[in-house]
């Protein structure tokens, strides 16, 4: 008996999402995007995570499954490395253009002088390339294949006297829903953040008289221009960030710790996640018209701020990207559930 091809493909997609957005930690991302041997070591660690997530495929389909594991893992490394190199080049070009224009201070809520959409585009193309390779590997080695006798026996023992058709529907729905959550909570947030973030490390950029560090590590130094100033050096670029002073009494002593609100980016990111999850829920429930209420409520809360053109462009770009991720993922999920 051959395995259900759609369920197998859905499992492969879920394995990819878990490898890229759950198993791959921020430390691994920083390592694989570092120059030199550190970058290669980070890619190797990520490749091990990808292979680990695909081990069940090898166990289920034997030689065919192990072939899929090897093909996807090796291609994953090549695709990721290509994305990293292209993103670096795009960011360097954006910074160079911004410096040549000699523009003034970047807007506080805008996209910055050196903003470029290319890193986000490369992120989307990277994910699309992974999915294409995954689909090709599935079509070559797994589609129409029967699972190994050991795997089939283990599944039969697990299912027992339960209704196989009903259990299949439950598993399929669970795989699709978990994939949707990962896409809209993790992948969507990364995509939107990559799209709207400025390339600058700070709001004020000046040319550095010091050569960049040879190891590429970001250097943070105490500035001599004030008690609360910090100089942040990223290669040849230096930006200065001034912290808000702590509250003091008239005699100059610090009264106590200032109660700070959560960072706006953190609050905005959480709103974006809730927005995408609501849109996906409405689409799966067949209430597509309710999407307008979600976007409308979000816009109403920022209506007065939209008079600022910089903020309006920043807000519109992030909202459109967030909504696009939710709608596209919901359409694919709905098609998979109806197949």
Cα–Cα dist 66/63, whole Å: 5
Domain range holding 230? 205-242
Mark whether 136 and 30 lie in a shared domain: yes
Q: Identify the band that residue 53 occupies on the pLDDT scale cut at 50, 70 and 90.
A: very high
Summarize pLDDT for 209-240 with one digit per residue, the tens: 333 333 333 333 333 333 333 333 333 333 33
Summarize pLDDT for 179-190 with one digit per residue, the tens: 999 999 999 999
Residue 145 lies in a domain: yes
Name the strand (E) or helix (H) holding 62.
none
Tell me how many domains the chain contains: 2
Tell me 207's DSSP state.
Answer: E
Q: 122: closest CA among 195, 28, 41?
A: 195
Query: Which one of 217, 242, 267 terminates a domain?
Result: 242
User: Rounded to a whole number, what is the largest CA-CA distance in the chain?
Assistant: 83
Number of residues in the chain: 339
Distances, alpha carbon 233 to alpha carbons 36, 236, 240, 244, in Å: 19, 7, 9, 20
Burial status of residue 83 (CB atoms within 10 A of its CB: 0-12, 13-18, 19 or more): buried
Residue 218 lies in a domain: yes
Cα–Cα dist 144/146, whole Å: 7
Contact present, 28 and 49 (Cβ < 8 Å):
yes
More confident residue, 257 or 184: 184
Distances, alpha carbon 286 to alpha carbons 7, 278, 334, 336, in Å: 23, 12, 10, 15
Mark whether 23 and 147 lie in a shared domain: yes
Mark whether 104 and 234 lie in a shared domain: no
Mark whether 26 and 127 lie in a shared domain: yes
Mark whether 146 and 227 lie in a shared domain: no
Mark whether 17 and 154 lie in a shared domain: yes
The pTM for the full model equals 0.80
Mark whether 80 and 209 lie in a shared domain: no
Mark whether 145 and 15 lie in a shared domain: yes
Mark whether 103 and 233 lie in a shared domain: no
Contact present, 198 and 119 (Cβ < 8 Å):
no
Q: 173: closest CA among 287, 16, 2, 339?
A: 339
Cα–Cα dist 319/313, whole Å: 10
Mark whether 110 and 235 lie in a shared domain: no
Residue 45 lies in a domain: yes
Q: Identify the band that residue 40 occupies on the pLDDT scale cut at 50, 70 and 90.
A: very high
Summarize pLDDT for 132-165 with one digit per residue, the tens: 999 999 999 999 898 988 898 888 888 877 887 8
Mark whether 90 and 234 lie in a shared domain: no
Mark whether 93 and 25 lie in a shared domain: yes
């Amino acid at each position: 008996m051959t395995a259900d091809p759609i369920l197998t493909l859905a499992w492969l997609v879920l394995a990819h999402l878990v490898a890229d957005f759950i198993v791959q930690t921020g430390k691994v991302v920083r390592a694989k995007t570092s120059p030199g041997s550190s970058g290669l070591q980070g890619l190797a660690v990520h490749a091990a995570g990808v292979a680990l997530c695909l081990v069940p495929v090898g166990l289920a389909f034997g030689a065919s499954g192990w072939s899929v594991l090897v093909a996807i893992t090796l291609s994953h490394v090549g695709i990721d490395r290509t994305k990293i190199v292209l993103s670096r080049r795009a960011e360097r070009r954006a910074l160079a253009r911004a410096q040549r224009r000699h523009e003034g201070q970047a807007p506080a809520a805008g996209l910055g002088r050196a903003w470029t959409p290319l890193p986000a585009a490369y992120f989307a193309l990277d994910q699309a390339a992974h999915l294409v390779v995954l689909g090709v590997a599935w079509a070559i080695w797994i589609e129409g294949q029967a699972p190994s006798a050991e795997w089939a026996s283990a599944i039969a023992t697990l299912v027992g006297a339960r209704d196989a058709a009903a259990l299949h529907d439950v598993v399929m729905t669970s795989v699709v829903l978990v994939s949707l959550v990962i896409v809209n909570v993790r992948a969507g947030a990364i995509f939107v953040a990559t799209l709207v973030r400025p390339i600058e490390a700070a709001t004020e950029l000046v040319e550095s008289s010091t050569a960049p560090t040879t190891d590429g590590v970001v250097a943070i130094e105490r500035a001599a221009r004030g008690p609360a100033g910090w100089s942040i050096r990223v290669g040849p670029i230096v930006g200065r960030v001034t912290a808000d002073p702590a509250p003091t009494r008239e005699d100059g002593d610090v009264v106590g710790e200032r109660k700070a609100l959560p960072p706006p980016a953190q609050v905005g990111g959480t709103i974006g996640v809730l927005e995408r999850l609501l849109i996906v829920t409405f689409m799966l429930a067949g209430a597509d018209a309710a999407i307008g209420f979600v976007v409308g409520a979000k816009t109403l809360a920022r209506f007065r701020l939209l008079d600022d053109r910089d903020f309006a462009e920043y807000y519109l770009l992030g909202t459109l990207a967030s909504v696009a991720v939710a709608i596209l993922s919901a359409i694919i999920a709905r098609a998979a559930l109806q197949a």
